[in-house]
Amino acid sequence: MTRALIVGSGIAGPAAALALAKAGIEAEIVERHPRPADEAGVFFTLGSNGLDALAVLDLQEAVLAHGFATPAIELRSGTGRPLGLSRIGTTGPDGTTSQTMRRTDLYAVFRDRAVTEGIPITYGRELVSAVDTDNGVTATFGDGSTAEGDILVGCDGVHSRTRMLIDPTSPPPVSAGLINYGGYTSGVDVETEPGTFRMIFGERAFFGYAMAPDRTVWWFVNEPTTVTSAASLPVRSEAELATHLSGLFRNDSGPAAELITAGSDLARPTLTYLLPHLPRWQRGRMIVIGDAAHAPSPSSGQGASLAIEDALVLAQCVRDLGPTRTAFDRFEAIRRPRVERIVKAAARINSNKSATGFTRLIRDAVLPIILRLSGTRETDMTYGHHIDWNQQIRA
Ligand SMILES: Cc1cc2nc3c(=O)[nH]c(=O)nc-3n(C[C@H](O)[C@H](O)[C@H](O)COP(=O)(O)OP(=O)(O)OC[C@H]3O[C@@H](n4cnc5c(N)ncnc54)[C@H](O)[C@@H]3O)c2cc1C
């Protein structure tokens, strides 16, 4: 039986393990964190295409139990001027559409299913090196332990070690020039419908919020920065952070400052990294998928969905073509055009978010037109994507 060694237990990793297991391939996951992730505050939106892919793994229902529908974004300028409505999901025949959920809830769904399926996950094992052997690949971890597989699938995120082992000259991820923050607020009334994100291009930063069915408001901030490394981000207490963030929106219309001041469970600030184009996704028995291969900006709302799609397609390729170079080549040929198109589109949104001064005025004038022109086709291609699991992949 073919054996796959999966590095990383974020989103791509468990999705790949479950998809490979469905294809009859034995999978084992190794994760560098000493225990499952439990970051406070962090939430994200899983696109309708990601949910569609999860249906193949019979996980859609379990995931829907943790999310609330958010198929649209209403954009506003910092002065409160409506800029347009952007769809961020298609709606399936049963009404299923993009969902916002806590990241830890999605991880837990994956983890529980992996345990049920008997897929081993071991924590505290950081991939350090890996070499191809005559009949497989051997990986070595920071604790000195080793593991073997017929293939090694690097699902180790935007700062991937696997990527460097495949090609030490790989371009590094680049900072998108935005710091992300997030939190939750109860007891503040906001004028938005459940199911619609409202996002504001403020004078100093970008703010987004949505109201959950229990009327808690989930919000995030993107602050432009010239800092290029996460290690250089300013360290602030929760109170200092609230003061800093609410100050960013003091001149803007909308509830940002109030929501931040009354907020709780603030997420640790993170720097956004992008990996727009990676020349090599594979070498020998090793391949990267998910953010390790292509990290779109969070603005795309697609990173997790693309990671799940990758997992399914890789499993199909290995199922039909074996643990071979041909399978990896087919995977790359199928996935590259789609993910690189989405990465490019997300980079455009990012530059809108960090616009200042005169550029901001132009952006506010032009964005509504762009939204009207580009909306439907782009949205359908991105969010309406469907993977036919039973389709046979040919060399
Ligand atoms: C602020 C923010 C907001 C976002 N919002 C959205 C959104 O709304 N919608 C969306 O779809 N996407 C969003 N994304 C992107 C999304 O989170 C990623 O695209 C997604 O997590 C990629 O999954 P992954 O499994 O490839 O990588 P990750 O989720 O990063 O998982 C990688 C895993 O590999 C482990 N690892 C790393 N190195 C090693 C090693 N050497 N050995 C062993 N294990 C290792 C890590 O600890 C981690 O568990 C957002 C990202 C950020 C930062």
Output 312 or 363, whichever has higher pLDDT.
Answer: 312
Ligand 1: centre distance to CA 248 (Å): 27
For ligand 1, pick from 63, 97, 291, 383 the residue to mutate: most ligand atoms within 8 Å of CB. 291
Instruction: Please write the tens of the pLDDT for every residue from 323-365.
Output: 999 999 999 999 999 999 998 887 766 566 666 666 666 666 6
| Dist. CA 375–CA 87, nearest whole Å | 7
Structural domains present in the chain? 3-173+274-383 (3.50.50.60)
Burial of 247-274, coded b for 16+ CB within 10 Å and e otherwise, reads ebbeebebbbbbbbebbeebbebbbbbb
pLDDT digits (tens, 9 = 90+) for 375-393: 677 888 999 999 999 999 9
- How does DSSP classify residue 291? G
- Mean pLDDT value across residues 146-167: 97
Cβ pair 125, 142 in contact under 8 A: yes
pLDDT tens digits along 102-148:
999 999 999 999 999 999 999 999 999 999 998 899 999 999 999 99
What's the distance, Cα to Cα, between the start and end of the chain in Å?
A: 21
* 167 or 395, greater pLDDT: 167
pLDDT of residue 38 exceeding 70, the answer is: no
Query: Which tokens go with 131?
Result: 């070499």
Q: Is the pLDDT of residue 369 over 80?
A: no
Of 31, 110, 179, 272, best ligand 1 pocket probe by most atoms within 8 Å of the beta carbon: 31
Atom of ligand 1 nearest to the CA of 8: 34
Residues within a 6 A CB radius of ligand 1: 7-13, 30-33, 44-46, 126-127, 155-157, 161, 180, 270, 272, 290-292, 298, 301-305, 307
Cα–Cα dist 88/345, whole Å: 13
Q: How confident is the model at residue 193 (pLDDT cuts 50, 70, 90)?
A: confident
